[in-house]
Structure 1
Amino acid sequence: MEGQRRAAFVALVRGDAMAVARVGQLDARVAVDRMRMAVEDGSLGQNALKEDRELLLEVLGQLADPADHLYRQLNLKITPDTQLAYTNTKVLEKPTPLTSGSFASVFALKVENADGVAQDSVFKPLKATEEGWVGKWSGIPMDDPQVAIRNIATLSCAKKLGLDVIADTRLALIDTGRGPLDPDLGLLMERAPGKQARNADADWFKNPAVFAEVTKLQLLDHLTGQVDRHDNNYFIDVGPNGDVKVTGIDNDQCFGKDLLSPSDIRPLRRLPFHGTALPPVIDTAMAAMIDALEDDELHAMLDNQLSDDEVDATVSRLQGLRLHVDQLRSQGLVIEPAQWADPAMQARFTAQNSYIGRERTTHQVF
């Protein structure tokens, strides 16, 4: 039994289990276990055909361990980075819909994090296939997009480079409202502070620290091949004491196997990518960060997450970034961090070569 017939049968068994739980005042998982034991000892379904009993046991097993079923359904490898970090036991405030669009639904919730502290979070259920992605033009297969792995690999690269510009992202199994026997497997991210770049204060785009932090995010995106970094999927926060925090979200349309140059995240051949050409200025800390990352370190970090072609493409983009750093250095455009306030340096950022220039143009900041 497959497709809609199987889905209807699973829903029927799930409904029966929830009814048993209500009548017996049991936890839903306990009700499933009791039903399974009753089928196994013959007190339930004794007149059913053998294949029907096997199907019923299979579905009860799916309800008893939804994580295993969902990992298999999503073709998601179980690695230390893809282990479940959050379940319903860590949820302090139930999920509420945050957005719902053509291709994704996102929920806001509050969880208890690993430090035992309440954390405002965002939960995005995973899907086995995708559509409407610009990422398909970069070589990401839509029938097996591996959204979780791409997000986690982006976070791994950010940590390796020492860049705090990506939302902490973990795997979670959460009931989003359909009941405890029908949870979603998805990505749980700490909610980014501040405002989306689209809604940021215009004066922020003159702030030297904003220049530096947004450029860090841009460099990371050139490495990962992120083709969907528009002004709606990164946040800027300028605190009352002047501290600046930039956070990239929705880090999944990346690591496409067909992007071999770091500048290929810009719109190419009319492809609808949301990146730009390489930044015209970086600082010495950023240059040192790129120089220090070795090809074999990328392999060691990404080989168990991405395909060979995707890792090779990432290494190719890293090599391109090194060449770009050398070119900027030869032109005197690798500056000291204190020089981000220099108007001459800021003027080099355009809508074509940088996120900050693109957003300055949108906000008409000159």
Structure 2
Amino acid sequence: MSRISNGQLVIAFLACRLSSEMITIPGEMVSYGFDRFAVILFAKLIAALLYLPVIFITLKFKGDSVITAAFRRNRAFGITAGIIMSVLLSATAVQTVLSVQRYVTDTLLNNIVTISGIAVITASAVYGAVKGLSAVTRSSVFAAAVFGLLIFLIGVTMWDKVEPDYLYFSFINDRSHFLKTLISEISMNSEILIFAVITDELRSKPYKTVIYYLPILLILMEFLNMLYNLILGPYMTKVEYPLYIIASLSDIVLFQRLDGIDAIVWLMCGIIKAALLIYCIGRIYTVCSNKPHTTLAVAVSGFLIFMLCVILGSDAGVYERMTKIMNSGIHILLGGVVVPLVVLIAGRTKQRGRVKKNDENI
């Protein structure tokens, strides 16, 4: 098994989070431009708490993932945990593929047939998952480089369109909307599901990934939010893909407009996230079956996700309902908190049983 570094996983997680940012509809996310700065900060503080159950498992079981720790506790228990995590990962993968397909249709290829877009995105993700975790994380480094180039070019070409007056302070006078926005922001952190499955494939201590990742993510998200506000201002709530709109407004001799680069970045990030999710499903099969990581398991997972995308993507109403469910953060709560806590408690129970048995023998 090829292990990866914490730095590689951090960059891959940033790509995953950027793909979630791509599908954010600002009109549903904010009422006041300045509010989301506070939302992002609180969301990252809460995310740090959500990672704790998985971190405790890695510390208690010497780097084992949630699935590995559960399987070592009891085979049936491990398989049950694996099935639950696979369902949650599959749901997240379906949402990711459909969101990327929708983005491609809205920005790049208006006439593309839905099933064709889904097929290409899923096939690319499956190919990445088959190549392995190391290959996917290397791809994320390239995506990060292109994203950095995009931000640099936007800074060069759009500095004269910045309006500092758009950054006005506003009190949070709609607490219910603020809470809804906060929950939606937290729900985007689906990387915790990936983290719960692949911690035993890290070279160093897994908790270091979280220590590096969350502060970098906080800075990046606050920076993007500031960019949206400085350039779009009140119009930010009227557009579906703010960074794409900003890139399309740029004027640079070499590229004319930067929206093409922006679309490439989001497309790569979406495929990377889908590849990681499919890889994790294959990884769960590997742990629960005691077999080496097989191409067949990944391919079957990819095919099932493709079929679900075709079925769910054919009805816009179904897609919207699914998005609302995912925006509630239920998958984060179950896969990132509940399952790890159950595994952690089960591990402590088994350990106490062993101690009691040893005392009786003495």
TM beyond 0.5:
no
Question: 1 or 2, which has the higher strand percentage?
Answer: 1
Question: 1 or 2, which has the higher helix percentage?
Answer: 2
User: With CA pairs under 8 Å and 6+ residues apart, which has the higher RCO, 1 or 2?
Assistant: 2
User: Larger Cα Rg: Structure 1 or Structure 2?
Assistant: 1
User: What is the TM-score of this pair, normalised by structure 1?
Assistant: 0.23
User: What is the TM-score of this pair, normalised by structure 2?
Assistant: 0.23
